[in-house]
Amino acid sequence: MASEQNRHRILYLLKYFQEKSDEKNGVSIRDMQAYLQGKGINADRRTLYRDIEELRSIDYDIIAQRGKGECLYFLASRDFELAELKLLVDAVQSFKFMTEKKSRNLIDKLKSLVSEQDALFLEQHTTAGSQNKSLNEEVYYNVDRIHTAIRENRQIRFQYFQWTVSKEMALRHGGDWYYVSPWGLLWDDENYYLIAYDSENREIRHYRVDKMLHIETQEQERDGEEQFDQFDIGSYSRKMFGMFGGDPVEVKLLCSNDMAGVMIDRFGTGVRMVPVNAEQFYVQVDVVVSEQFLGWVISLGEGVTILEPESAVRAMTETVKRLNKQYPEG
């Protein structure tokens, strides 16, 4: 009975240090005694000194510092630094694919990793985040179902929807099921995508996780292992602008020197930039020539020009004609 009470006491004491103490907020022996008495446990000073040493012996970094007339103790080292948790909280708050409710639940769990005072700091300094959070409550569980299917090497089926003007979910393909082999998840432009192999069409495809409904694991093992054997998700995402599909082609871009950072941000530090003259360079990259890619080039103004292939130049010419027609002068 005494050993069980000792175990409870030291566990409660550890919990007290985790919740109430940090570098700016130490707790005294009297504070610890009052807390334990509230749990129905009496402990004298010597017992608490031994408990603190026991916690230190198993690598809990409990620091003693002299306060006003008494020694104060705090838990100095934690699994996450406050700055790291602030970064994670801001990231969770900005996730568009996660609903406001799920974001709040996850942030509350992150706050539990620090003292109550530091948790209050995290709450007060949480950014506003994304204003267009997902409305699909299944997203949080979709990710888990997809990971489970990948781990078990199983295909999945699901329904896919799109939003209507009346803000209602309309099932695509008349509500028919999509059958695919999941191989990975990709975070791109604030959205989460499933990267999968479509056996019927024999190609790699991607799907917005927040637009997937009723995911079910199938008995069939996954297809597409050969296609994904050398698959690079990072390279795949760089080719897709706005994750709009299509076949990638090699595009040659003429860029002004001040566009070097833009090219590295988009295509990575491995992108080859070949000087043309003192003011310009060109790059050759594999991209899907979609309206999103063309819009990206247009947004960079005179700093970037498409040189090759001719099909990409024609696509840009047609886009410029459409824009001139859509937004006539005068």
Q: What is the DSSP string of 142-195?
A: HHHHHHHHHHTTEEEEEEEEEE-TTS-EEEGGGGPPEEEEEEEEEEETTEEEEE
Beta bridge partners of 305: 254
pLDDT tens for each residue of the chain, 330 residues long: 456 677 889 899 999 998 888 888 899 999 999 999 999 999 999 999 999 999 999 888 999 988 677 899 999 888 788 878 887 887 777 776 677 778 888 888 888 888 888 888 877 755 555 555 565 667 778 888 999 999 999 999 999 988 876 768 889 999 999 999 999 888 776 678 898 999 988 888 889 888 899 999 999 999 998 888 878 777 776 666 655 667 788 999 999 998 898 888 788 778 888 999 999 999 998 888 888 889 889 999 999 999 999 999 999 999 999 988 988 876
What is the number of alpha carbons within 13 Å of residue 8 lying toward its C-beta?
13
Q: What is the pLDDT of residue 265?
A: 76
Q: What is the pLDDT of residue 29?
A: 93
Q: For 65, which DSSP code? A: E
Report the 10 Å Cβ neighbour count for 265.
10
Q: What is the pLDDT of residue 302?
A: 92
Q: What is the pLDDT of residue 1?
A: 47
CA separation for the pair 170, 76 (Å, rounded): 52
Q: Assess contact for 71 and 63: CB atoms under 8 A.
A: no
Q: What is the pLDDT of residue 330?
A: 61
The dihedrals phi and psi of 291, each to the nearest 5 degrees, come to -60, -30
